[in-house]
Amino acid sequence: MAARATKRSAQYGAAFVSAILPGATIGILGGGQLGRMTAMAARSLGYRVQVLDPDRSCPASFVVDSCFTASFDDAHAAADLARGSDVVTLEIEQISLASLEEAARHAPVRPEAAVLKIVQDRIRQKSWLQSSGFPIGEWSPAASAQELGAAVQRFARDCFIKSRSGGYDGRSQIRVQPSSASASADELWKALGSRPCVVELALPLEQEISVLVARRPGSEAVVYPPALNHHEEQILDWSAIPASLSPDLHKQASDLALQISQQLQIVGLLVIEMFLLKDGRLLVNELAPRPHNSYHASERACVTSQFEQAVRAICDLPLGDASLIKPAAISNLLGDVWLGHHPPAFDRALAIPGVRLHLYEKSVPRPGRKMGHLSAIGDTAQEAVHRVLKARAAL
């Protein structure tokens, strides 16, 4: 392919300076719903796509040219994916560094292993944010039950305990509250698999928001309008673009996100989850170097969706306009919706003006498993949220 003619060095990464044009092949590490939607955007732009995922029937497998069935720590399989790709990206953080490094021997990997090394380890990520001067909440690392117990007491038993790596959507996390039954440090340690973790002070939150930044290899970047996020049981329940922020807070959040992306030197997408405290301060919660659930609404709200933007960024194409067209919201559809006495009444949901349905083709619904989402537009973000929640209730 013409794009492969741009490989002018035996060393990969920064040596790639030319755009990877439509007709080339994109490799994606991870074939979940984020990989699926990125692949769909890439196909619309004229790219071929292949993915690597442990699940032979992963959501992306139905829309790509080929699917490598292998674990995320299979460096040989990652290399095979990269050999047939002009660029490699990812849709999940839980890719082994060895797999990323091996893939990078054969094609540019965006974002690079150096970014994942920081982001996929919560202790390393928080230490990096802190040492880089970015605002975060109080936290403590814990490498034993004794250290865990000391940290929990330090925060007056009002805290979150999260595993050092892995875990999302509330998994591998424990909420400790002063009013709850008193579990011992040993019990808490065992509940998280007896492995290192972080303990975070619970904060007085006004809002939870996120900000998406897209960045090209030459450092050109665009920032999306902040999204407002609402969680239930530590799982994102709905999200809306734009978040209702004062102009000053909007600028603070956007500037902070851009500074973090530039400091990381990321190529691709970076979503920065933030806490807006009741006293008006903005603190960084976590980083995600990939498309993000909170920006699914960008397909309806913005000139360029996060998925098309991801393709543009990793292929070093001009970045798309991230401006707001119309306020929009999404609501996640968990497997619980399928586990009632009747199948979901999608026709009722689609009867509500401005609503669309997005299903991921996951074959087995389970409680808490993301099976799809609904999206809606409105004249305001609040109206879009009202519509999308009304549609979900109609199911």
pLDDT band at 181 (very low <50, low <70, confident <90, very high): low
Assigned token pair, 26: 């994109």
Residues 62, 47: Cα–Cα separation, whole Å:
16
- The yes-or-no verdict on residue 2 having pLDDT over 90 is no
Vertex 82: Cα angle to 67 and 22 (nearest 5): 80
User: Is the distance from CB of 312 to CB of 254 less than 8 angstroms?
Assistant: no
Vertex 29: Cα angle to 28 and 33 (nearest 5): 75
CATH classification of 138-201 is 3.40.50.1820, yes or no? no
pLDDT (average), residues 197-217 = 97
- The yes-or-no verdict on residue 350 having pLDDT over 60 is yes
Residues 59, 289: Cα–Cα separation, whole Å:
20
Residues 390, 395: Cα–Cα separation, whole Å:
9
CA dist 386 → 353, 377, 378, 383 (Å): 11, 10, 9, 5
% pLDDT > 90, the chain: 87
User: Is the distance from CB of 28 to CB of 36 less than 8 angstroms?
Assistant: no
CATH classification of 2-109 is 3.40.50.20, yes or no? yes
- The yes-or-no verdict on residue 373 having pLDDT over 50 is yes
Convert the pLDDT of each residue in 305-329 to its tens digit.
999 999 999 999 999 999 999 999 9
User: Is the distance from CB of 371 to CB of 363 less than 8 angstroms?
Assistant: no
What's the whole-number average pLDDT of the chain?
A: 93
Torsions phi, psi for 160 (to 5 deg): -115, 140
Residues 307, 266: Cα–Cα separation, whole Å:
16
Residues 137, 101: Cα–Cα separation, whole Å:
32
Looking at residue 100, its pLDDT comes to: 98
Looking at residue 170, its pLDDT comes to: 56
pLDDT (average), residues 115-141 = 97
Residues 194, 179: Cα–Cα separation, whole Å:
24
Task: Answer whether 0.75 is exceeded by the pTM.
Answer: yes
Residues 202, 199: Cα–Cα separation, whole Å:
9
The SS3 of residue 31 is coil
Looking at residue 14, its pLDDT comes to: 41
Q: How far is it between the farthest Cα atoms of the chain? A: 63
The SS3 of residue 349 is helix
Looking at residue 229, its pLDDT comes to: 98
Q: Which fold has domain 205-394?
A: D-amino Acid Aminotransferase; Chain A, domain 1 (3.30.470)
134-143, 160-169, 338-347: lowest mean pLDDT where? 160-169
- The yes-or-no verdict on residue 389 having pLDDT over 60 is yes
Assigned token pair, 145: 């039950």
Looking at residue 168, its pLDDT comes to: 63
pLDDT band at 10 (very low <50, low <70, confident <90, very high): very low
162-176, 241-255, 284-298: lowest mean pLDDT where? 162-176
- Burial of 279 by CB count in 10 Å (0-12 exposed, 13-18 middle, 19+ buried)? exposed
Residues 278, 262: Cα–Cα separation, whole Å:
28
Convert the pLDDT of each residue in 230-286 to its tens digit.
999 889 999 999 999 999 999 999 999 999 999 999 999 999 999 999 999 999 999
Domain boundaries, the chain: 2-109, 138-201, 205-394
Residues 159, 20: Cα–Cα separation, whole Å:
46
Q: Facing residues of 109 across strands?
A: 88
- The yes-or-no verdict on residue 11 having pLDDT over 50 is no
Assigned token pair, 324: 């707001």
H or E element at residue 286:
strand 282-288
Count of CA atoms in the C-beta half-sphere (13 A) of 358:
23
DSSP 62: G
DSSP 321: P
pLDDT band at 9 (very low <50, low <70, confident <90, very high): very low
Looking at residue 173, its pLDDT comes to: 87
- The yes-or-no verdict on residue 225 having pLDDT over 60 is yes
% pLDDT > 70, the chain: 94
pLDDT band at 12 (very low <50, low <70, confident <90, very high): very low
Looking at residue 233, its pLDDT comes to: 84
